[in-house]
A and B are shown apart, each in its own frame.
Chain A
């Protein structure tokens, strides 16, 4: 699982509050990069996706309906915030990012800029 594209590496998370790094799958096709991020417990309203220059930040808060005065009996998920950053390559068109959230699974599609898509050149037979 080596990352060939240096520009798609994860930034170190310097947040002071404990956050969970969400499990992510990243695929690159001819004309886009697709990110699939697991954010269980995050609703559309508590999810923030933003791009600052070439840094894509995904941040979501887990909102569970927990009763008051409850006692934690067993805990695997210890924080209530997911956060992860990615550096985007300049071949990607950040103005055309599409996001879809379905039952805590986020799908982000980032198309490549037209000039970076592979082109097939027709060869004319003389």
Chain B
């Protein structure tokens, strides 16, 4: 379903190794555990909804491209600048370029794609093609 899934085994191994050497860091912090940004995908009979959890972005800095049935979301996340004289206690938030590619099922009609960015979640909604949606057939009595 998702090309990044292929990277999961390796990032898990990374975490295993990290936890051997830096046990105190193994507290479920998001920076090293996940491929950024995390994604949820849900499907109904009529549409596919993709949610990307990218907090604090300007939607203009997110690029959304659909080519055939590949949906790719990329962008650059910049964090607010911090005074150089500050002491750093924790730095877990993702910073930098990100990209995730999702293979959509053949049954969707990408012309119907809608995308909204609210509360730091990019929600992409794509309808399934009319001919694959379930239809209810009325039975006439004779």
Residues of A within 8 A of B (CB): 1, 3-5, 8, 10, 20-30, 34, 36, 38-43, 62-67, 69-77, 102-105, 107
B66 contacts the other chain (CB 8 A): no
Of B39, B45, B87, B90, most A-chain CB atoms within 10 Å = B90
Cα(A117)–Cα(B64), bound, Å: 47
Q: Chain A residues with Cβ under 8 A from B91's Cβ? A: 1, 25
**B interface residues, Cβ below 8 angstroms from A:** 1-2, 25, 27-31, 34-35, 37-45, 47-49, 51, 53-57, 79-80, 82-83, 85-94, 117-121, 123
The reply to whether A21 and B29 contact each other, CB–CB distance below 8 Å, is yes
Q: Is the CB of A41 within 8 A of B53?
A: yes
Inter-chain contacts of B54 with A (CB < 8 A): 40
Output the nearest chain B residue to A47 by Cβ-Cβ distance.
Answer: B119
Given contacts A5-B89, A24-B93, A28-B89, contact A77 B120 (CB under 8 A): no
Report which of B1, B42, B53 forms a contact with A71, defined as CB distance below 8 A.
Answer: B42
With A24-B90, A72-B41 known, 9 other A-B pairs at CB within 8 A are: A3-B89, A5-B89, A21-B27, A25-B88, A29-B86, A38-B93, A72-B42, A74-B1, A104-B120
